[in-house]
Structure 1
Amino acid sequence: MGRIALLTVSALILVTAGAGAWLYEHLNGNIKSVGIDGKGGQEKADAFGRTPINVLVIGSDGRNNAADCKLGGGCGSASSTAGHNADVEMVVHVSADRSNATVMSIPRDTMTRVPACKDPDSGQSTSGYYGQINSALQYGAACQVATIHQLTGITIDHFVMLDFSGVVKMSDAVGGVSVCVSDNVYDTYSHLKLSKGTHTLKGEAALEFVRSRHGFGDGSDLGRTVSQHLFLGAMIRKFKSAGTLANPAKVYSLADAATKALTVDTGLGSVKKLVDLATDLNKVPSKRMTFTTMQTTADPENKDRVVPAAAAKSLFATIADDQSLTSGSGKKKPTSSPSATPSPTATVPASQVAVQVQNGTTTGGRASVIAQALIAKGFSPNTTTGNAPEQSARTTITYGPGEQAQARTAAAALGLPASHLTQGSASGVVLVIGSDWVSGTSYGGSGDSGGSGSSSEGAGGSGGSSDTHAAVADAHAQTADKTKGCAQVSPYKTVEINGVPMTPAQAYAAASGKKDSAS
């Protein structure tokens, strides 16, 4: 939804450029912005001075106005995000050379570490906790950005947030979005009720579709992310279709709705800045925009929650390393992608390598644990420990000129992907342990949590060493031009009527007197 809003603003400027300053100021006045104060990290430019763009798109469940309250759920009166959750979280990555993009959904049921945060508007603060990822929004949008950055290691440059009423306004303004469902479906929770086949959804029906988590897939948030990708792909095609951009009235209506629906970071807090970003986004052809969902596994502490699966490390690293998930033809990368682990031939004996191990986490003793593990593996007893100058979201090895082989030896011993290696100006091999590795002695081992962050390698989507085949494994990857299938209705008893559990199709038959959402 955020991408559509940005494209709309850009189109409006082109179509109605002669309308004058009033229109520009009117749209500027619609936009709400807040600061994120570098909570998402800082991008590194490639050799040509280009940087990728990473935008966190947030769908808030906030209901702080009459329009939102009417759409269901609890209501509030505050203008801040206190008490709100992030129903939808998508990291939109646009490559440094603007040739490809990735949209990665992070299920709202993901359990992770939320860092210390304070919302400058509400004053609500936390010293940090382990909890559901969507709850970070209660401490402000900057906290949600920081939490995603800490989990994935991906630099988050900007955020775009929409609430319930924003989804309704956007779908109405674009003239409706065409979606297909594989069977009759009635989600008694989101109230979506559709017969098998294709429907054009507007207003509340569109909101019911993107919010439905009991109607599709396995009846969890994982199924919902896939149906949301189908919806967004259809909306992108509708937006670019003939007649939409050629009609100034339609474009104005959509742009006005988009800017009113948006809350953005201060880096995007004007029409001009949104247009600049929209221009970059629009350069990416649909066949080179990949929709994915972060791979997950069941939380061992709570079967109703999930944690990132081991494969998510590859997906995070691929995005952070600015690698495309498609080839030039728009097909997914072949299985012959290079391995994520360092080549064992480009190493030197461990006994010749002394590592400076620095703890960049809030977990005490991590440097000592890893240093002892390295020495036990035969590394030089001159290996040292200490605290990093500052906390780090990503584990890295920095090596001096001519010391890449030593760094690769250390990385291979620790299971650290080559994308985490970078050359510095000072001599020595320095391992900084980040918050993506808070336990265990092997980065890819059992019990380790993983994310990886930005690297100067692979900028422009053409280099890097992350395994792109592993990155899309079980990630439900498909390109925007291919998102034309039907949302798969859940075959499980995920809903109930009058206390009786049933499948969404059975519920549809049982609720014959209820009007369909698209009728």
Structure 2
Amino acid sequence: MSDPWGETSGRAATRDRSTVPHQRGADGAPAHRPPGGRAAARQAARSKGRQSGRRAKPVARRKRLARIALITVSALILVTAGAGAWLWQHLNGNIKSVAIDDGAGGKEKADAFGRTPINILVIGSDGRNNAADCKLGGGCGSASSTVGHNADVEMVVHVSADRSNATVMSVPRDTMTQVPACKDPDSSQATAGYYGQINSALQYGPACQVKTVHALTGITVDHFVMLDFSGVVKMSDAVGGVSVCVSDNVYDTYSHLKLAKGTHTLKGEAALEFVRSRHGFGDGSDLGRTVSQHLFLSAMIRKFKSAGTLANPAKVYSLADAATKALTVDTGLGSVSKLVDLATDLNKVPSKRMTFTTMQTGADPANANRVVPAAGAKSLFAAIANDQSLTADSSKKKASASPSATTSAAATVPASEVAVRVENGTTISGRAAVIANALIAKGFSPGTSTGNAPEQSATTKLTYGPGEKAEAQTVASALGLSASHLTQSSESGLTLVIGGDWPSGTTYSSSASAAPADTHAAVSNANASTADESKTCAKVSPYKTVVLNGVAMTPAQAYAAASSKKDSAP
């Protein structure tokens, strides 16, 4: 029989018998021994040892490898966790945050499903507090506060309550408006209020800039994000450059932007020169600059959303590190987790549903070099304040969107299955019947009834029983009620008490809520565009907006005349 390791027991036994003499009994006959003899027993023992030894080695090796792997994985987990904790603390340590007055920018109102929009004031500061900003912007400052600084860029970024759309509205820096009374808690710089250029409010702190924009537009501003010169450079480098197109050769002798006609990838100082250029584009004023800034931001957003950026851990970290170092934010955004939440909300909005606009303006009667809001700006302000999308398919999207489980739950309860008891809590006769009839006309159950409330109520409220929140949201959505009007009760059934804040009409509105804005008027003359428009070029100014060697020229003429100056980007 063959040995498992390639030896034959027969040969081994023969070999053993030739070397070990047989013992004999008293009669000279071979003594009785087990079959195969001692040699065979020894051979069997050796064979067993070889078999067990050779088989044991792989098992032991596997156990050792398993232990090594376990130790290695444990070490990696500890190292990764430690690195993650270090990175988290590092990024948190990068963030500079400043408190703003409670209610400085107003208070957001939740919709019927408890969701609230987000409004952020993005501020581009012309401050030169550090060596990098001094080098990039020219001129230097030493204070760490915003005293003496102006907000050269002001954009209201609105993200809808259902996260299906967003609007970015630029407010030109040359806008004249009433700056309210402000005091910067950091510098103690204060003002009793004055009529002046809107960008000057930053001298009294970011909160003052927020209050001023809120006072001008009526738009609630929840947060602010402030970026300086070096911040623009860091952010553009972090994404590997931003691709922009210019309609003609351009040389802005003020911002130093010099580009040939066509598309370029801008990094570092070239990116800063582009977003700072006001003489190179449009009519050579801040109005033209806001449009080119929108093109730059649209391109950056597309780069953010590209798989090449978000799928690369090194790029994500580089971007996070650059962003947290570059930004000053309000304390409401003053942590990595809060910024991540904000980024997540922004990332939900498709590029084609992000609208960029510039506040409509007219010339200031007192100063031709300054502007004031035009009549059309009221529609733009109202559309943002009312959480209305400015993209063409807004009504279709709003009807079909289901961004949260709450919305889905409400959508699963048909109006025909919902009955409401409507009670009149006002002094106006017949108010309950008006609302009840309106609900039935909208398809609600004919079991909807009316009556008088036990007492008069100043506010309208809708109470619902346990497990009936979805039904209440269906009613609230039909009547235009916000989440603040909904209250859970221990008793089953839906009861709507009409309060003194709803004296007329069948759709709820308060003095703070404007009627839906005309979205066509909102974007009229507002240079509206969407973030998915990748082939749009910045329009180089055809006017003599720049000066080279003491001679007024168009930016294209200056480009030709400055052939010896290196372009900002290839």
TM-score (norm 1): 0.72
Amino acid paired to 2:236: S
Secondary structure at the aligned position of 1:58 is classed as strand
Larger Rg over CA atoms: 2
> How do 1:214-229 residues align onto structure 2 when only pairs under 5 Å count?
214-229=279-294
Give the aligned residue type for 1:33.
Answer: S
Larger relative contact order, structure 1 or 2 (CA cutoff 8 Å, min sep 6):
1
- Quick one: which of 221, 230, 237 aligns to 2:302? 237
Percent identity (aligned): 84
Count residues in correspondence: 393
Q: Deviation string for 1:155-178 (max 9, x for gaps)?
A: 000000110000001111111111
1:21 aligns with 2:85: yes
Report the more deviating stretch, 477-486 or 492-501. Answer: 477-486
Partner of 1:494: 545
Name the residue aligned to 1:438.
Answer: none
CA distance in 2, matches of 1:428, 1:241: 48
- 1:117 alignment partner in structure 2: 182
For 2:132 and 2:299, the matched residues in 1 are separated by: 25
In structure 2, relative to structure 1, the CA distance for the partners of 1:425 and 1:73 (3 Å cut) is farther
Matched to 2:278, the amino acid is R
Q: What's the C-alpha RMSD, in Å, of the aligned pairs? A: 2.6
Q: In 1, are the aligned partners of 2:125 and 2:151 still within 8 Å (CA)?
A: yes
Unaligned runs of 5+ in 2: 1-79, 399-427, 429-457, 461-479, 486-497, 505-509
Q: Does 1:198 align with 2:272?
A: no
Please say if residues 287 and 329 of structure 1, whose CA atoms lie closer than 8 Å, have aligned partners that are also in contact: no
Alignment match of 2:224 (pick from 159, 164, 168):
159
Q: In the TM superposition, what whole-angstrom CA distance separates every residue of 1:15-38 from its partner, at most 9, and x where no partner exists?
A: x98842111000000000011122
Matched-pair contact (CA < 8 Å) for 1:321–1:454: no
Q: Which residue of 2 aligns with 1:279?
A: 344
Q: Does 1:248 align with 2:313?
A: yes
Q: Secondary structure at the match of 1:277?
A: helix
1:509 and 2:551 correspond: no
Residue 94 (structure 2) pairs with residue 30 (structure 1)? yes
Out of 369, 372, 377, which is 1:312 matched to? 377
Paired residue type of 2:311: A
CA distance in 2, matches of 1:211, 1:484: 21
The answer to whether the Cα contact below 8 Å between 1:321 and 1:455 also exists between their aligned partners in 2 is no
Q: Is the contact between residue 164 and residue 397 of structure 2 (CA under 8 Å) also seen in structure 1? A: no
Of 498, 520, 523 in structure 2, the residue corresponding to residue 469 of structure 1 is 520
SS across alignment from 1:251: helix
**Structure 2 counterpart of 1:197, which letter?**
G
Counterparts of 1:269-418 in structure 2, within 5 Å, are 269-328=334-393
Q: Secondary structure at the match of 1:71?
A: helix
* Aligned-partner Cα distance in 2 for 1:170–1:186: 23
Q: 1:108 aligns with which of 153, 164, 173?
A: 173
Letter of the structure 2 residue corresponding to residue 204 of structure 1: E
The equivalent of 1:414 in structure 2 is none
Instruction: Determine if contact 2:118/2:160 at 8 Å carries over to the other structure.
Output: yes
Give a deviation string over 1:293-339, Cα, whole Å, max 9, x none.
00000001000010000000000000000000014489999xxxxxx
Q: Take 2:340 and 2:380, find their aligned partners in 1: how far apart are those partners?
A: 29
**8 A Cα contact 1:287 1:330, kept in partner:** no
Letter in 2 for 1:175: G
Please say if residues 99 and 283 of structure 1, whose CA atoms lie closer than 8 Å, have aligned partners that are also in contact: yes
Letter aligned with residue 27 of structure 1:
L
The answer to whether the 8 Å contact 1:330/1:479 transfers is: no
Amino acid at match of 1:318: A
Unmatched segments (≥5 aa) in structure 1: 1-15, 334-352, 354-398, 402-418, 431-452, 458-463
Cα offset, 1:271, TM superposition: 0.4
Judge conservation of contact 2:137–2:229 (CA < 8 Å) in 1. no
Name the CA distance, whole Å, in 2 between partners of 1:151 and 1:321: 16
| Structure 2 CA distance for partners of 1:428 and 1:489, relative to 1, 3 Å | closer
Alignment check: 8 A CA contact 1:326 1:332 kept? no
Q: Does 1:426 align with 2:500?
A: yes
Cα distance in structure 1, aligned partners of 2:338 and 2:550? 51
| 1:189 and 1:212 in contact (8 A); partners too | yes
Is the 2:146–2:205 contact (alpha carbons within 8 Å) kept by the matching residues of 1?
A: yes
Shift of 1:74: 2.1
Q: Separation in 2 of the partners of 1:23 and 1:506?
A: 49
1:188 aligns with 2:253: yes
Distance 1:213 1:245 in 2: 32
Write 1 or 2 for the structure with the bigger share of helix.
Answer: 2
Deviation at 1:123, TM superposition (A): 1.0
Matched, 1:138 2:212: no
Distance 1:173 1:66, change over 3 A: same
2:533 is the alignment partner of 1:482? yes
> Post-superposition shift, 1:429?
7.9
8 Å CA contact retained: 2:254, 2:546: yes
SS at match of 1:87: strand
Closer/same/farther in 2, CA of residues 501 and 328 from structure 1, 3 Å limit: same
